[in-house]
Amino acid sequence: MPNNKTLPNYAPGLEGVIAGVSAISKVDPAGDELLYYGYKVSQLCERSSFEEVCYLLLNEGRLPDKKDLENFRGKMSSERNVPAEITDYLCKMPKEAHYMDILRSAVSLFAHFDKQTEDNSKAAELAKSIRLLAKVPTVLAARVRVLRGNKPVSPHQSLGHAANFLYMVNGEEPAPDFAKALDVSLICYAEHGFNASTFTARVAASTLTDMHSSIVGAIGALKGPLHGGANEKAMYMLREIGDPAKAEKYIRDKLAKKEKIMGFGHRVYKKKDSRAPIVKKYALKLAEKSGEKKWHEMSDIIERVLMAEKKLFPNVDFPAAVLYYLLGLPIEVDTPLFVVSRISGWCAHVMEQRADNKLIRPDQHYTGPEAREYISIDKR
């Protein structure tokens, strides 16, 4: 196969290649701080809300005033209900159906019920973005409840986005600390530049297909284990270890076998993932309330060993795994929760792509045979 030495313009995985321009987010190299339209995610987590961050991303970097935010929240709340035909259909899918496949199908089905599906105007794209943000959590929560043997719970129109999701899963209003913890994680996952799923959404959008199709593609890309799923695997690992006293040996054995430890390292961040300590702080608050501190004790040991042996830092998926587990959510919904959050970033990128569009169609380097004559089947 060709490499960078034989093909100077070739970069496997497009690593280091500038594939487009965007004003939505960046990782500030000075401190590995993630910025959304220049605003530090650390500050957004402490002083803002997921709804406000969604407004920021979908409105080209403009923070809402009180009236703007109230209206935006009202629109999201009013769009939470999902047609019964969709909920019934998805909840009757085989129990083995992957949650990500359920969400992918849900977004595709939403398109049939959305009168603006084929309208790519800016106003319609914003309206569809809000509907997707509002409805996807409803489907996910309904699927969780059905697999637990319970009936779906209708959305609570007066609760915030994160609190409403926990309400629809558990059937009761969550404590403020629990809602805040989920809200913070959603902010941290909302946007992250030209990652695989976002780039997939932009490639689709560049063809002028509809918003729903672009998001379906993004969900499909996120399902891949090289992009999503690290939080799930991290929590399965912690449960397998089970006891802080076993953590160091477990990790050292993994390293000796050259096995990958999920939830550590990142292609973009060089020294640290600034989102990880934010999520870890809120997960620790939940642990202190529930008395389940062993997960953090194990995490601290694993982090110490990997930093000492491999200079690997935890990325946001590692503490998020513990946070979602302490919220009482099934491990299998960790990556779908990524979708619940990242729809905001995906939709923002679709709209940004539309604003100055050019069909994304990169070149290739051909490695097959040169032109040759066809041989009839009776002469082969």
Note the pLDDT tens digit of each residue in 110-155: 999 999 999 999 999 999 999 999 999 999 999 999 999 999 999 9
Answer yes or no: are the C-beta atoms of 341 and 50 closer than 8 Å: yes
Stretch 283-300: mean pLDDT, rounded?
94
Rg (C-alpha) for the chain, rounded Å, is: 22
DSSP assigned state of 8: T
- Nearest C-alpha neighbor of 61 from the set 278, 360, 355: 355
Report CA-CA distances (Å) from 116 to 35, 125, 210, 348: 31, 8, 9, 17
- The pLDDT of 162-175, averaged and rounded, is 97
Q: Put the strands of the sheet holding 39-40 in their side by side order.
A: 25-28, 33-36, 39-40
- 230-326 sits in which CATH class? mainly alpha
Judge whether 313 and 265 are in contact, CB under 8 Å. Answer: yes
Q: What is the CATH superfamily name and number for domain 12-223+342-355?
A: Citrate Synthase, domain 1 (1.10.580.10)
Q: Which residues, other chains included, contact 327 with Cβ-Cβ below 8 Å and sequence gap of 6+? A: 166, 178, 181, 182, 286
Q: Is the pLDDT of residue 4 over 80?
A: no
Domain extents in the chain = 12-223+342-355, 230-326
- What is the pLDDT, as a whole number, of residue 76? 97
Q: What is the pLDDT of residue 7?
A: 82
**Catalytic residue (one of 161, 192, 212, 266):** 266
Has 192 been annotated as catalytic?
A: no
Closest to 129 in 3D by CA, of 316, 332, 348: 348
For residue 67, give both structure tokens.
């009236």
Tell me, what's the pLDDT at 349? 98
Q: Is 317 a catalytic residue?
A: yes
- Catalytic site residue from 296, 317, 334, 349: 317
The amino acid occupying position 40 is K
pLDDT in tens, 337-360: 999 999 999 999 999 999 999 999
Q: Is the pLDDT of residue 3 over 70?
A: no
Q: What is the pLDDT of residues 19-50, one digit of tens each?
A: 999 999 999 988 889 999 999 999 999 999 99
